[in-house]
Amino acid sequence: MATNKKIERALRGPGLFEIIFGVILSVALGILLGAVHLALKPVVIVKEKELPKDAADNSIYRPVYYVEGSTDVAKSQQWKRKQQILIEGQAGEISLTEEEINAFLAASIRVPAAPLPAAPAAGKPAAPVPPAPRVNVRISDSVFQFSMPTTTSLLGLDLPLFLQLRGGFVHGAEGFTFDPAEFYIGSLPIHRVPGLAGWLIKRMVAAQPPPQELAASWRKVTNVALDGNTLKLTLP
């Protein structure tokens, strides 16, 4: 009987269920490989004045550009004083520039150092050492951009990834939270998958939560506004 079924199957080919399952599996595998390819695809690093006019094009095939926020030390001298004002909960408005926020991030968030390049072979010049990736904020045209390097493990390999989020702030049950209109991992647009961006942000915050006293003060903030290239916080 079993032999007859095998002969019948060989003559008729795969059944409808097997065909549908095979198609679904092929599509799922293709989507997964495409997502991995885009996540590992490097962004195009440019200066603000070099941004092309079509940088806001929403096509999934367009290059993803990245402009780093300023880290000018001369413009970030007041960040510790403003942080203390926020922690103490002094009433009024605090204006923060991207330089001040980046100075705070540089002192608060540690990114694992990149491995040193292998020693060059005899007679060959040493390869240039790329700049170390860092957590960074940029504020431009009332849009808040947050970016950071990270890694993920895939098949036993540690793969470098670059996260880039752009958006504003919304008020919720636990105070103001960052609400990105755009969320990229490499060149992969995470924001196109409903709910995924919010879930990933919660994972990021849980992995490296802010200092408790700063988080408590943030919950007291009554208004968060983006004004040009400045973040303004209002305390009661």
- What DSSP element (H or E) covers 171? strand 157-172
- Indicate whether 79 pLDDT > 70: yes
Q: Count the neighbouring beta carbons within 10 Å of the beta carbon of residue 33.
A: 10
The C-alpha atoms of residue 192 and residue 189 are separated, in whole angstroms, by 6
The C-alpha atoms of residue 90 and residue 221 are separated, in whole angstroms, by 10
Mean confidence (pLDDT) of the chain: 78
The owner of tokens 């700049």 is: 131
Instruction: Write out pLDDT tens, residues 110-162.
Output: 655 444 444 555 555 555 544 556 889 999 999 999 998 877 766 666 778 88
The owner of tokens 């196109």 is: 192
**pLDDT for the residue 116:** 44
Instruction: Write out pLDDT tens, residues 155-199.
Output: 666 778 889 999 999 998 778 999 999 999 888 898 888 888 888
